[in-house]
């Protein structure tokens, strides 16, 4: 109760200081109120730390560190961020002892963000990779894949090729371990396939795309049974894309023919209804699919028609205006 009471008072104090800063006219006065708010939030973080609510405490410390940095006190901002890092590492170790790998991973993800803000990118990336491993131990493969993907982007900025390749491989493998709803898993398998192709792991890339193709096929069948033609064609389009990347060009072409026929039918229906805006949108969609299918000349023709309609609509609006 005491912790809750203290927390409530510190939160109120910070809110009032922030409001006072909003009304302050002189910059030194505004800065003084902002620093007072930061002090109150640090006290609030202390109460959360006492209660072992580490996630809340760390979120506040990161905010406090940012406020001090913004006010020009770099030394104090870095000290607060260092405290957030130490608390996060402690939280991670305690969580690991309890085999709570999700919390342990979240703690290291927090560490990585603070380290990155302080300019320590190599150590931040190492923390991301470790957090990814912990998420995998929790069977949270999408979360693991996402943080590995963030790590590979950071490696890319530092031009660390071999380390980046390892991070890409880890991200792709995490996505490939996922189970769940096909509409969630299938796009991540495509992402994994693209990643693996980028680093030259063609066999694994084909496997990921093959599985994605199967899932998109299931989704298309379900949409057809539900008489949802729009969704069915979208899933068939993704299925064709997977087949094409997987090296099954003939099968992809057959599916693309079905999808293109549907979208061209939409164009015709919109022409007959004289809804120019819908007609232009259908032409754009048809052009996208034609481009994917390798029929660039036809795609260009449809885009030109869409552009003509948009210009016509714009002229009509200008005239009416």
Residue 128 resides in a domain: yes
Ranges under pLDDT 70 in the chain: 1-7, 160, 320-321
Is position 158 within any domain? yes
Residue 171 lies in a domain: yes
Tell me whether residue 288 is in a domain.
no
How far apart CA 283 and CA 303 sit, in angstroms, is 7
- The pLDDT value recorded for residue 6 is 59
Distance CA(57)–CA(59), nearest Å, equals 6
CATH code of the domain covering residue 137? 1.25.40.10
Kindly give the interhelix angle for 121-137 and 161-176, rounded to the nearest 10 degrees.
Answer: 20
pLDDT on residue 320: 62
> Is residue 258, in this structure, part of any structural domain at all?
no
Tens digit of each residue's pLDDT (9 = 90 or more) over 93-144: 999 999 999 999 999 999 999 998 887 888 899 999 999 999 999 999 999 9
Count of the separate structural domains present in the chain: 1
Amino acid 3: pLDDT: 47
Contact status, residue 277 vs residue 257, Cβ threshold 8 Å: no
DSSP label at 277?
A: H
CB 107 within 8 A of CB 88: yes
pLDDT at residue 226 in the model: 96
Residue 283 belongs to some domain of the structure: no
Any domain includes 34:
no
Residue 251: strand, helix, or coil: helix
**Spacing of C-alpha 308 from chain mean position:** 35
Under DSSP, the state recorded for 121 is: H
CA distance 234 to 292: 13
Residue 258 CA to residue 237 CA, distance in Å, equals 9
For residue 112, is it within any domain?
yes
Q: What is the Rg, in whole angstroms, of the alpha carbon atoms belonging to the chain?
A: 27
Question: What is the extent of the structural domain holding 100?
Answer: 52-178
d(CA 35, CA 303) in angstroms, rounded, equals 56
């Amino acid at each position: 109760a005491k912790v809750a009471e203290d927390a409530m008072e510190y939160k109120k104090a910070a809110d009032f200081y922030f409001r006072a800063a909003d009304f302050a006219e002189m910059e030194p006065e505004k800065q003084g109120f902002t620093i007072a708010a930061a002090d109150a939030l640090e006290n609030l973080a202390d109460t959360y730390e006492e209660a072992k609510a580490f996630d809340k405490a760390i979120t506040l410390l990161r905010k406090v560190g940012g406020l001090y940095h913004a006010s020009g006190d770099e030394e104090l901002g870095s000290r607060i961020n260092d405290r957030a890092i130490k608390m996060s590492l402690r939280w991670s170790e305690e969580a690991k002892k309890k085999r709570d790998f999700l919390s342990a991973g979240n703690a290291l993800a927090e560490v990585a963000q603070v380290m990155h803000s302080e300019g320590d990118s190599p150590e931040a990336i190492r923390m991301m990779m470790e957090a990814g491993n912990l998420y995998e131990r929790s069977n949270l493969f999408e979360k693991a894949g996402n943080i590995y993907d963030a790590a590979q982007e950071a490696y890319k900025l530092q031009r660390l090729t071999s380390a980046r390749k390892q991070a890409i491989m880890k991200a792709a493998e995490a996505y490939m371990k996922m189970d769940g709803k096909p509409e969630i898993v299938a796009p991540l398998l495509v992402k994994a396939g693209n990643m693996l192709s980028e680093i030259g792991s063609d066999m694994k890339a084909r496997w990921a795309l093959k599985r994605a193709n199967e899932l998109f096929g299931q989704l298309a069948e379900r949409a057809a049974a539900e008489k949802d033609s729009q969704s069915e064609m979208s899933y068939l389009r993704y299925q064709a894309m997977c087949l094409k990347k997987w090296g099954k060009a003939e099968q992809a072409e057959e599916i693309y023919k079905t999808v293109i026929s549907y979208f061209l039918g939409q164009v015709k229906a919109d022409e007959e209804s004289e809804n120019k805006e819908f007609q232009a949108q259908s032409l754009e969609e048809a052009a996208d699919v034609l481009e994917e299918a390798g029929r660039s000349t036809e795609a260009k023709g449809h885009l030109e028609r869409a552009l003509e309609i948009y210009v016509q609509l714009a002229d009509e609006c200008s005239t009416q205006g």
